[in-house]
Amino acid sequence: MTDAYAYADADAGADAAKVVVVTGASSGIGEATARRLAADGHRVFLGARRTDRLDALAREITERGGSAAYQRLDVTDAADVKAFVAAARERYGRVDVMVNNAGVMPLSPLDALRVEEWDRTIDVNVRGVLYGIAAALPVMRAQGAGHFVNIASVGAYEVSPTAAVYCASKFAVRAISEGLRQESPDGGVRVTLVSPGVTESELADGIADPAAREAMRAYRAVALPASAVAAAIAYAVSQPAEVDVNEIVVRPAGSAQ
């Protein structure tokens, strides 16, 4: 199911339209964010490994009057992320917003010793964000302006059983985001950390540990639509240059999750 947005004309509001690059754009929060920001009149450049989905999404956006392009992206490869950002800049002339969204959540108790899953979590959730910053920050500094939107989780504030490594990765994203904010005292580069609670996505589909997978199914009984998180991102992106929305936590109403 897709969200029915009334698409603005990106060319009509050229001064307000921004160039937004989104990682992990093939599903979930990334896909919803691409749709929402394109509908708001921004030009979106989409990255993920599943190019068939990116192609379908970019076609949908352009058919509705928006502006979208894509390139295959592996956020665990620093050179690939750098090339991705360079391609966005070459196509649109600049990069105004970097949405570091790509993430994985392979939960398991530590004594299961799923070391390869730990490594994958760190590679995608932490290194992927750092590689995004490394690729886009020089571009934004050269422009004199830019905005990072880093997607964390309520797991960036609390730890739960089976989620120690996942939460550690999101604590890291929170720390990296705050450090980047403090290192941008002139306000030229803005930083927003968005931490969703339980959200409809494919994140839980990759949980191999049977007990953790079953617990997550119960945990996700009440979940936000991805479009709700996209709306929070759109709010931060829409603020005037002198306003930096630093942290947004979004949960299902009435839920502690």
- Per-residue pLDDT tens digits for 92-112: 999 999 999 999 999 999 999
pLDDT, average across residues 138-163: 97
- pLDDT tier for residue 202 given thresholds of 50, 70 and 90: low
Inform me whether the pLDDT recorded for 135 exceeds 90. Answer: yes
Inform me whether the pLDDT recorded for 209 exceeds 60. Answer: no
CATH topology of domain 19-250: Rossmann fold (3.40.50)
**In terms of C-beta density within 10 A (0-12 exposed, 13-18 middle, 19 or more buried), how is residue 249 classed?**
middle
Inform me whether the pLDDT recorded for 123 exceeds 80. Answer: yes
CB 246 within 8 A of CB 149: no
| Runs of H (alpha helix) within the chain | 28-39, 51-63, 78-92, 115-121, 128-143, 164-182, 210-219, 226-238
**What pLDDT is recorded for position 215?**
52
pLDDT, average across residues 172-184: 97
Residue ranges per structural domain of the chain: 19-250
Sequence length of the chain is 257
pLDDT, average across residues 232-240: 98
pLDDT, average across residues 221-249: 94
3-state SS assignment for residue 245: coil
Question: Is 131 labeled as catalytic in the residue annotation?
Answer: no
pLDDT, average across residues 115-119: 97
- pLDDT tier for residue 13 given thresholds of 50, 70 and 90: very low
Instruction: Encode 196-230: b = buried (16+ Cβ within 10 Å), e = exposed.
Output: bbbbbbebbeebebeebbebbeebbeebbebbbbb
- Nearest 5°: phi and psi at 93? 95, -15
**What pLDDT is recorded for position 199?**
80
Choosing from 92, 131, 166, 235, which is the catalytic residue? Answer: 166
**In terms of C-beta density within 10 A (0-12 exposed, 13-18 middle, 19 or more buried), how is residue 43 classed?**
buried
- pLDDT tier for residue 200 given thresholds of 50, 70 and 90: confident
Q: Among 44-53, 117-126, 210-219, name the one with the lowest average pLDDT.
A: 210-219
* pLDDT tens, residue by residue, 65-88: 999 999 999 999 999 999 999 999
